[in-house]
Amino acid sequence: MAEHPPIEAYEALDSTNAEARRRAEAGEAGPVWITAAVQTAGRGRRGRAWSTRKGNLAATLLTVTDVPAAEAAQLSFVAALAACDLADACLGEGTARLKWPNDVLIHGRKAVGILVESGARPDGRLWLAVGIGVNLAHAPQDVERPAAAFAEYMAGPPPEPRAALEVLAAAFERWRRTWAAGGFAPIAQAWTARAMGLGERCEARLPGRTLAGVAEALDSDGALRLRLDDGSLERITAGDVFFGGV
């Protein structure tokens, strides 16, 4: 039995998430990993562009689920843990840290981006596209926050994207099974153990407003608990969080 769903590799796609969406809307259920050596129109969270050059990894898992959309969104934390496992395998345990909601940082610089999209199927279930981009060989320069590539911290060359995806997909499946069996609690515990910024002051930039306070912890559903300066508690479910400029 394979340790993860099958992988389909392409030389170039506009976006692996877009390809997964097209297949889902045509009725395909997966599970299948879709990867491309080059993305010509890759996307990140909140509509940002995500560049994928040869040597980097762009991959999306297409699958379906019976759980509600809010619960299915927890797979972004599963993906972050899997990407952190990949970073540990390449760079040494503890090198990568997680920043809410699902950024993977290497020495404080973003090396992995995650985008989870979903839609309704005629049978009532959800299709899910779990997109993961990893800067293996190259880091973009024209970005809002500093980015890093694995290659910058390796004595030898970084892994080839397909080899990296084998590690990533197997790690994702292990964490997905943990989530399926035990719910979000074990995922939250593992994520918190690798998190940066908890207990520290941060700025949360939300649609239409910006809040400042102390990032306390993950809530039971993955929301960030932000303690504001007046002592009140705000649950952050979507937005960008900045710790000391990161």
Segments in the chain below pLDDT 50: 1, 45-47
What per-residue confidence (pLDDT) applies to 240?
A: 85
* Region of 183 on the Ramachandran plot (φ > 0 left; ψ -120 to 50 alpha; else beta): left
What is the pLDDT at residue 53? 74
In terms of Cβ atoms closer than 10 Å to its own Cβ (0-12, 13-18, 19+), residue 150 is buried
- Domain extent listing, the chain: 7-193, 201-242
Class of domain 7-193: alpha beta
Question: Which backbone phi and psi does 91 adopt, to 5 degrees?
Answer: -120, -10
Q: What's this model's pTM, rounded to 2 decimal places?
A: 0.90
Q: What is the pLDDT of residue 114?
A: 93
Q: 130 forms bridges with which residues in the sheet?
A: 61, 116
Q: Which CATH architecture has domain 201-242?
A: Roll (2.30)
